[in-house]
Copies of this chain bind each other. A is one copy, B any other.
Amino acid sequence: MLAEIKGLNEECGVFGVFGHLDSAQLTYYGLHSLQHRGQEGTGIVVSNGDKLKVVKGEGLVSEIFTENVMEDLKGTSAIGHVRYATAGGGGYENVQPLLFHSQTGSLALAHNGNLVNANFLKHQLETQGSIFQTSSDTEVLAHLIRRSGYPQLKDQVKNALSMLKGAYAYLILTEKELMVALDPHGLRPLSLGCIGNAYVVASETCAFDVVGAEFIRDIRPGELVIINEDGITSEQFAFNSTKSICAMEYVYFSRPDSNIQGINVHTARKNMGKRLAVEAPIEADVVTGVPDSSISAAIGYAEAAGIPYEMGLIKNKYVGRTFIQPTQSLREQGVKMKLSAVRGVVEGKRVVMVDDSIVRGTTSRRIVSLLKEAGATEVHVVISSPPIKNPCFYGIDTSSKEELIASDKSVEEIRQLIGADSLTFLSTEGMVGAIVKTDGTEGFCLGCFTGNYPTEIYPDTLQYYYQK
């Protein structure tokens, strides 16, 4: 479904290169392929072995990095970031990578995920005289590193990481090194690849395909990888780590051409659709998906159910940032945007409409109504994930608990609210099984569905989420 109308936003994507003359260019193309993970700001820090240089701004990769800008970004290693503003708010200074200079060297940070003890640590650091540049939780790591007493940067970083709680895939760039760290639960995806002798890291493997890199392996929970001119080394900085990757990465966030933990996202989604066809068999004439993220599941459903897949909904491709929203009065007259129902396909038909999730329910109601106005005689909504009942503390900008329609409504109540003829959610086991073909639900963070979070949640974090 469309992120912008859904209230479910990934906050970040990261990309890094070490040891390639075109490091900034590769980062540009890599970030571009991760643009779906964040459209509000982007930045690249490049090192020429001697100095770090940053360019960042609020906007899309292709808006911030013009040819003139790229010509000035030369170096052999680089890290980049695309962001959706969640914790910390917007503004230029919160755009990542963050770059810190000191008389002993520079340090750049790019972070995907969200810490749950950031406010606690910030308060401690400020009491000791630290001044924070940003309102982002990412910056905490820099201060912890600078205040760590260890003489070696590697030990400073390990010591600092050990104080963080929450979700993080961190890229750390200095003049001479690229460090890559994943939180002890591996909540966010992070993969390692190579182009010849150069190493690349990225939030998703689709970035490797785009830059012509070869996939090596996924970064492990609690692992710190250090790449410098002596090669690549790896250490565990946390040992009680248990993999709990975010299930919504498969359901909604990641690109269908990415593989996470070795599993193709499109295939996982198609399997979710097939499972749904088994869990929710419906007599209908056509199956349609809500573009773009639900198409795979819809095709899977159609295939398994033996009902033709049709393009019953179409997205308006050119809806950009500057697009003028229709006034209330125009909307009442029927002016639509973003999504249209295809009358020629759904008129007089019983329609199965496949979507990936329901957050506030308003969009689902609108789409059901679009289909009915276009002549659908029945609209059966099937959702390729379980009901989202709880907020995410790890970097997904779900609405607050009160706004989540499933937090206090039954499936039947939701069905009535969205006006569907039937409504089915995929079971938790069905979803996990579609991804990994096992019976249990091990290895995934299912917090937003079940309310069981892999980490402790700090009171001030809870407060932040409930104040929103």
Give the B-binding residues of A (Cβ under 8 A).
22, 25-26, 28-29, 32-33, 35-36, 39, 60-63, 65-67, 70, 92-93, 100-104, 122-123, 126, 128-133, 135, 142-143, 146-147, 195, 206, 209-213, 255-257, 259, 263-267, 270, 292, 295-296, 299, 303, 308-311, 314, 316-320, 322-324, 326-327, 329-330, 333-337, 340-345, 374
Contacts and interface: CB of A to CB of B under 8 A. Distances in A.
B257 A342 contact: yes
A33 to B, nearest CB: 6
6 contacts: A36-B318, A62-B323, A70-B324, A129-B143, A213-B334, A292-B317
A266 B33 CA distance: 28
A345 B259 CA distance: 10
B266 A335 contact: no
A438 B26 CA distance: 52
Nearest to A56: B92
B318 A257 contact: no
Nearest to A210: B336
Contact of A101 (B92, B135, B209): B135
A132 B344 contact: no
Contacts of A33: 316, 340
A128 B130 CA distance: 10
B67 A209 contact: no
Nearest to A91: B54
A330 to B, nearest CB: 6
A146 B143 CA distance: 15
The A interface is mostly helix, strand or loop, or mixed, namely: mixed
A62 B318 contact: yes
B310 A270 contact: yes
B102 A343 contact: no
Given A32-B337, A256-B342, 12 more contacts: A61-B318, A92-B92, A100-B131, A129-B147, A131-B131, A209-B341, A211-B334, A257-B341, A266-B310, A266-B344, A266-B345, A303-B309
Contacts of A135: 101
A102 B132 contact: yes
B340 A257 contact: yes
Contacts of A70: 324
Contacts of A213: 334
A308 B319 CA distance: 31
Given A129-B143, A314-B256, A323 B101 contact: no
Nearest to A63: B322
A266 B310 CA distance: 8
Nearest to A99: B93
Contacts of A212: 333-336
A206 B308 CA distance: 23
Nearest to A21: B329
Contacts of A211: 333-336
Nearest to A336: B210
A309 B299 CA distance: 7
Contacts of A264: 342-345
